[in-house]
Every structure is written in structure tokens, then in C-alpha cells.
A = this chain, B = another copy of it.
Amino acid sequence: MTRKSTAKKERHQKLVKFIKTNPFLTDEELAELLGVSIQTIRLDRLELKIPEYRERLKYVAKGDTCQVKSLSYGELVGELVDIQVGKSGSSILTINRDMVFKKNKVARGHHLFAQANSLAVALIDAAVALTGSAKVTFRQPVKLGDRVVAEAVIVDNHDKKYRVSVISKVKDQVVFEGLFTVFAVEEA
């Protein structure tokens, strides 16, 4: 014997493919599908280091929610459209499934805040800038699929303290307004 019977090798390939295309198959179902005993399936999974059904479920489920749970990461929330550092800028955020309440498909407020806040911070001409305070108003509910255009302008600056006004619109209708106080931070 070379190393492994071809029958076994073939079955292993099939097994991997089956589970890949449908992780919700139990050993019993797999045994039926491949025409072998349940014990063989279990030995196969052991060899191939394929976790059991319930572990696979958990893995898939966690992969689904881990993204949902957290806010969009990265330096900027949304897509930068235009920027004059120290002056003004704009970004676009398209509301996806993970940003809305499942019940009514309205975007959670903090996503709009995140877009505005990260844009405000991006305008500051410093190594790092931190938000000190903000006053925000959510004028209209934003729905799944909406393209939110945020426009930010530095309205005031004294030393390291900046005031940034952000207005977000969906199709020319104001949905969000915010006034952010941002501080530039020196870097060593």
C-alpha cells in the first residue's frame, strides 16, 4: 500500500467538499451520503481534523455575528470623497444589513455618528486628533441601502481646539447634524 487506499482518499475529498458546501450535515447524514458507517465518518473527520457538527455550527454562527457586533473598523467610517485638510471634507456611507435594526431596517444612530466623527477627526492637520465632545441630532431615520453623504467643515479653531460641523444627507434631505469639538494631539 502506498500510503492510503484510493477509496479512502476519494471519500475524504468528497467529505471535505460535502461539509464545505453544507456544514449543517451530521455524521449520520454524511454516512448515508457516502455509503459508509458512522464510525468511518468519525475516523475520517478525526484524520482530516474536521470538527463536529455543533462546533461547525458555532463557528459559522460566530462568523456571522462577530462582524455585526462591532462597528465598521478602519481609520474612516465610510468612503472618503473629498478632503481639504484643515478646512472641509466629505464622505459617503452606504447603509448595509449589519447597520440597521432588523425589525424596521432603520440605521442605528452610532453608525451615523461614527461616519461624522471619523470625518471630523480626519480634517484636523495633526498626527492625531481626539474628539472632546459632540452635540448631535438625528433628524430623519436612515434606512437600509441609503447612501449617506456627510459634509464636514471646520468652523472654528483656537490653538489645538477645533470645532467641526458635520451635516449628513440622504438625497439632499438632512438626516444628521453634529457639532464636534476636536483636539489636535502632538506626537513625540
Contact = CB atoms under 8 A, between A and B. Distances in A.
The binding surface of chain A is classed by DSSP as mixed
A64 B58 CA distance: 11
B127 A71 contact: no
B60 A65 contact: yes
Given A109-B117, A130-B138, A133-B136, A72 B60 contact: no
Contacts of A110: 71, 77, 110, 113-114, 117-118
Interface of A: 23-24, 54, 57-58, 60-65, 68-75, 77, 98-99, 101-104, 106, 108-111, 113-114, 117-118, 121, 127-128, 130-138, 141, 185, 187
11 contacts: A23-B65, A70-B98, A70-B102, A72-B101, A72-B102, A103-B128, A104-B128, A104-B185, A108-B114, A113-B134, A135-B136
Given A101-B128, A132-B137, 4 more contacts: A24-B58, A57-B58, A109-B117, A110-B110
